[in-house]
Amino acid sequence: MKILIIDDNAHHAELAACRLEQEGWKIEITDDPTPRDSFHHFDFILLDFSMPRASGIDVLKKMKEMEIRTPVIFMTGHGNEIIASDAIKLGAYDYLVKDTQLVYLERLPNVIREARSKHELLETNRFLIQELQKANDQLQKLTFTDEMTDIYNYRFLMNQLGTEISRAERYKKPLCLCLIDIDFFKQINDKYGHPAGDATLKRIADILKETTRSVDFVGRYAGDEFLIIFPDTQPQDAERLCDRIRQKVSEEKFYVKNQLLHLSLSIGLASYNSSDRRTSDSIIEAADMALYQAKESGRNRVEMFQEIPKAPASKRKSSSQSSEVSP
């Protein structure tokens, strides 16, 4: 074990060093209390409280700031026990009161051994907690990510859509959503095989991520269908964004098994509307109808959901009366 003694009193430092060397430990002595990177190279630090250039408490504070976790045993003179308890609060493992009969020197090796066991236990715990945190982050990511395309999955999209609808309702903000379907995607599977289809889905997902803003939520809705939530976005702006996506994909060169292919997207767009499209289902249904329209109108296009104008009640009545009389 390598121990650093920081003490301006050379006599005290030598006495402690002699005692610790009897345990077979390697000792270095310094009177420079400035925390530095070389502190990391020691297994232990024996730190004196009262030094002219800096107090042991200042050294502990600085070590904390610099994230030097080398365990410290604090040494004080008589009457400084309150300071010693401050040192413990700042992370020192233990403290020893220097007595004139030098009894503390006899206790020193055991105090260091006990502190080392405690330090090893704490370091193991810290490592395990970090690993657990990493595993949790990974799990969290998996819960919300479509594994194949690495964009949000259906579960996340539905969750987020609920949140965005509440926000739009509460703050009277616009909200849009689009459903995207790859045109004739099945042909890629049929001609080049399923793995080639998978690679194409991934490439399209990447393009969607690259072409949208960081505030938009891009996810895989199902099969070859993607869904994007555009928070705080007016329909005409969302339409421009969708057309940018459509254009980007239509201009992209896809290489599938060394074959150059061109693909296109059909996109259906719908917006939140506080009177009759205020639920996730109703907005998605509207976007789906618009997508159907885009497919019907020839694909490679963006269609905005169009309201079917409701005729006033009196007019509806008169028109049905007139149809009854017409042949």
Catalytic residue set: 224
Contacting Mg ion (CB under 5 A), which of 7, 181, 239, 303? 181
CB of 233 to ligand GH3, least distance (A): 25
194 binds, among ligand GH3, Mg ion, none (CB under 5 to 8 A by kind): ligand GH3
Q: Which is nearer to ligand GH3, 7 or 224 (CB)?
A: 224
Q: Which is nearer to ligand GH3, 225 or 232 (CB)?
A: 225
Residue numbers of the site for ligand GH3 (CB under 6 A)?
181-187, 189, 194, 197-198, 201, 223-224, 295, 299
Binding footprint of Mg ion, residue count (CB under 5 A): 4
Minimum Å gap between C-beta 179 and Mg ion is: 11
DSSP designation for 39: G
Task: Name residue 94's beta-bridge partners.
Answer: 73
Between 53 and 194, CB nearer to ligand GH3 = 194
Q: Which residue is nearest to ligand GH3 (CB)?
A: 197
Cα–Cα distance measured from residue 135 to residue 267, given in angstroms and rounded to the nearest whole number: 37
CA distance 206 to 140: 21
224 counts as binding Mg ion under rule CB under 5 A? yes
Taking a C-beta distance cutoff of 8 angstroms, is the pair 66, 35 a contact? yes
Helices (H) and strands (E) in the chain, counts: 10, 12
Please tell me whether residue 185 binds Mg ion under the rule CB under 5 A.
yes
**For residue 325, which phi and psi values (nearest 5 degrees)?**
-85, -25
For Mg ion, which is the closer residue by CB, 47 or 182? 182
Q: b/e for 28-63, b at 16 or more Cβ within 10 A?
A: ebeeebebeeebeebebbbbbbebeebbbbebbebb
Residues that bind Mg ion (CB under 5 A): 181-182, 185, 224
